[in-house]
């Protein structure tokens, strides 16, 4: 395990690693072997689409298909070993940090991929903001044990304090360490890879191997803390596996993408809920007069505009699944007082996700938060389509601002799980971290 440039600072400790990447000559195209993160793929259609895109698509590692969990994990491990042996995947020659860029017609995002020293939330270095589901952590842990690899990076955000180089700036000219200057300087070079995925995003990746540039990045990051934007279950998985291995070891680190949101603000979107066993008519009837209920005209975009307008004034949701859109807002203050725990900050008590889970799911509808009752879906249209096809209820959410998320995380307060979707998320398959290299 390479630990060049390791520091003992109380902030972020990012080290280079030998990235494992697809060999372009061995696959149809880099775009065809990538996928979204494992929890964003809409099963089964999305999974089948990715599997058929290329026989070596990364989905065969992150979501292997077999008759049992043990068989799935062993299949992923066998596939990874086979692809390395056959030269489909290969480790880079030397340890690197990687500058990663995502760009479409609306957004440009750049960050640094590296191996980050793991830390508990109480240390205040990496801040979670959502709870996790134990069964998902165990599932991911079993896959990581079998493959001994970080198959996809977490998305973490940090905020530079002040200054820093702007795009195209040549560097920090001997001043304070500036990771942004290294990122922008690196992005002027020829990339290791460049590909455009079917969602319209162009992805570019560069390696940073110069010891001075690595040291500058590390010194800058050592003064910062990070927020987990996407990947709470993978972070919890990394912590669990670290505890299973004597330190020091490669298991002390996890694969992350760090984005400075003072320079490159992320999109924050909602994650919607689908209630498998509750028809829309029953959901609305159970609300009684405790919420205001209005039917809003479609199409979906118009309904979301109405949701955004209502969410600026009170807790608000759109229920769908019966061919119409039902805007539910203005909850009864008495109902909230009886159902929302009072031992949390007001910013937490007034979250839509808090009201949804504590008031609606737990109290009004009495629905357990288990996979056979609730599905969490990132894609808005897919949530509505599933409800209309299967007869359940889609609950469309309005996104939370990043500042609210960060402020709660700094207070040590976690939001209900799957409260936010930060993006753009890194494509899975551009660079892996095998713990043996």
Query: In sequence order, what are the residues at sequence separation of 6 or more whose Cβ sits closer than 8 angstroms to the Cβ of residue 309?
Result: none
pLDDT given for residue 115 in this prediction: 98
pLDDT at residue 2 tops 50: no
pLDDT grade for 78, boundaries at 50, 70 and 90: very high
Q: How far is CA 298 from CA 301, 303, 307, in A?
A: 7, 6, 12
Query: What are the phi and psi torsion angles at 292 (to 5°)?
Result: -85, 135
What average pLDDT does the structure give for the chain?
91
pLDDT digits (tens, 9 = 90+) for 318-342: 999 999 999 999 999 999 999 999 8
pLDDT given for residue 419 in this prediction: 83
pLDDT digits (tens, 9 = 90+) for 212-238: 999 999 999 999 999 999 999 999 999
pLDDT grade for 413, boundaries at 50, 70 and 90: confident
Q: 288 burial class (0-12, 13-18, 19+ CB within 10 angstroms)?
A: exposed
pLDDT given for residue 168 in this prediction: 38
DSSP state string for 370-429: STTTEEEES-HHHHHHHHHHHS-EEEE-PPPPHHHHHHHHHTTPPBPSS--EEESPPPBT
Q: Are 14 and 221 in contact (CB under 8 A)?
A: yes
Q: Which residues is 434 bridged to in the sheet? A: 149
pLDDT given for residue 174 in this prediction: 53
Within 10 Å of residue 333's Cβ, how many Cβ atoms? Answer: 8
pLDDT grade for 403, boundaries at 50, 70 and 90: confident
Q: Are 46 and 52 in contact (CB under 8 A)?
A: no
Query: What are the phi and psi torsion angles at 223 (to 5°)?
Result: -95, 5
Mean pLDDT of 53-66: 91
d(CA 132, CA 129): 10
Q: Are 80 and 89 in contact (CB under 8 A)?
A: yes
pLDDT grade for 150, boundaries at 50, 70 and 90: very high
pLDDT grade for 209, boundaries at 50, 70 and 90: very high
Own/partner long-range contacts of 159-162 (Cβ < 8 Å, ≥24 apart): 159/224, 159/260, 159/261, 159/262, 160/220, 160/224, 160/260, 160/262, 160/263, 161/223
d(CA 213, CA 19): 18
Single pTM value for the model = 0.81
pLDDT given for residue 74 in this prediction: 97
Mean pLDDT of 74-97: 97
pLDDT given for residue 173 in this prediction: 47
pLDDT given for residue 165 in this prediction: 35
pLDDT at residue 373 tops 70: yes
pLDDT given for residue 1 in this prediction: 42
Please state which of the ranges 79-93, 178-192, 261-275, 353-367 shows the lowest mean pLDDT.
261-275
pLDDT digits (tens, 9 = 90+) for 343-352: 889 989 999 9
pLDDT given for residue 131 in this prediction: 84
Closest CA to 256 of 433, 45, 30, 436: 433
pLDDT at residue 170 tops 50: no
d(CA 377, CA 115): 29
Percent of the chain past pLDDT 90, that is, above it, reads 76
Mean pLDDT of 74-95: 97
pLDDT digits (tens, 9 = 90+) for 235-272: 999 999 999 999 999 999 999 999 999 999 988 889 99
In 43-107 the beta strands, taken as DSSP E runs, fall at 89-91, 97-103
Closest CA to 232 of 140, 299, 318: 140
DSSP state letter for 265: P
């Amino acid at each position: 395990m390479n630990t060049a440039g390791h520091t003992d600072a109380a902030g972020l400790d990012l080290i280079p690693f030998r990235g494992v990447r697809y060999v372009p000559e061995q696959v149809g195209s880099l775009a065809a072997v990538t996928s979204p993160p494992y929890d964003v793929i809409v099963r089964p259609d999305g999974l089948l689409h990715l599997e058929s895109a290329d026989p070596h698509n990364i989905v065969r590692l992150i979501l292997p298909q077999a008759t049992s969990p043990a068989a799935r994990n062993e299949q992923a491990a066998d596939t990874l070993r086979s692809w390395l042996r056959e030269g489909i995947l290969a480790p880079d020659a030397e340890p690197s940090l990687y500058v990663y860029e995502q760009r479409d017609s609306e957004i440009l995002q750049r960050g640094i991929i590296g191996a980050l020293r793991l830390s508990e939330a109480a240390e205040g270095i990496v801040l979670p903001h959502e709870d996790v589901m134990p069964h998902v952590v165990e599932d991911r842990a079993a896959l990581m044990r079998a493959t001994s690899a970080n198959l996809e990076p977490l998305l973490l955000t940090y905020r530079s304090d002040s200054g820093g180089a702007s795009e195209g700036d040549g560097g920090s000219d001997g001043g304070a360490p500036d990771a942004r200057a290294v990122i922008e300087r690196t992005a002027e070079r020829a990339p290791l890879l460049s590909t455009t995925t079917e969602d319209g995003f162009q992805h570019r990746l560069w390696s940073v191997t110069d010891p001075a540039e690595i040291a500058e990045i590390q010194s800058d990051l050592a003064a910062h803390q990070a927020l987990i934007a996407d990947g709470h279950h993978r972070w919890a998985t990394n912590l669990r596996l670290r505890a299973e291995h004597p330190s020091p070891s490669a298991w002390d680190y996890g694969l992350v993408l760090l984005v400075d949101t003072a320079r490159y603000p992320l999109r924050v979107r909602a994650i919607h809920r689908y209630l498998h066993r509750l028809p829309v008519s029953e959901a609305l009837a159970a609300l009684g007069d405790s919420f205001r209920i209005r039917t809003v005209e479609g199409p979906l975009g118009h309904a979301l505009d109405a949701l955004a307008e209502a969410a600026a004034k009170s807790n608000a949701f759109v229920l769908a699944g019966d061919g119409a859109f039902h805007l539910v807002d203005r909850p009864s203050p008495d109902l909230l007082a009886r159902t929302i725990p009072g031992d949390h900050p007001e910013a937490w008590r007034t979250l839509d996700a808090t009201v949804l889970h504590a008031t609606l799911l737990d109290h009004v509808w009495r629905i357990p938060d288990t996979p056979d009752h609730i599905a969490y879906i990132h894609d808005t249209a897919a949530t509505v389509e599933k409800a209309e096809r299967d007869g359940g209820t889609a609950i469309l959410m309005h996104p939370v601002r990043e500042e609210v998320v960060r402020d709660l995380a700094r207070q040590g307060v976690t939001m209900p799980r799957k409260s936010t979707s930060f993006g753009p998320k890194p494509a899975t398959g551009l660079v892996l971290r095998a713990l043996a290299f």
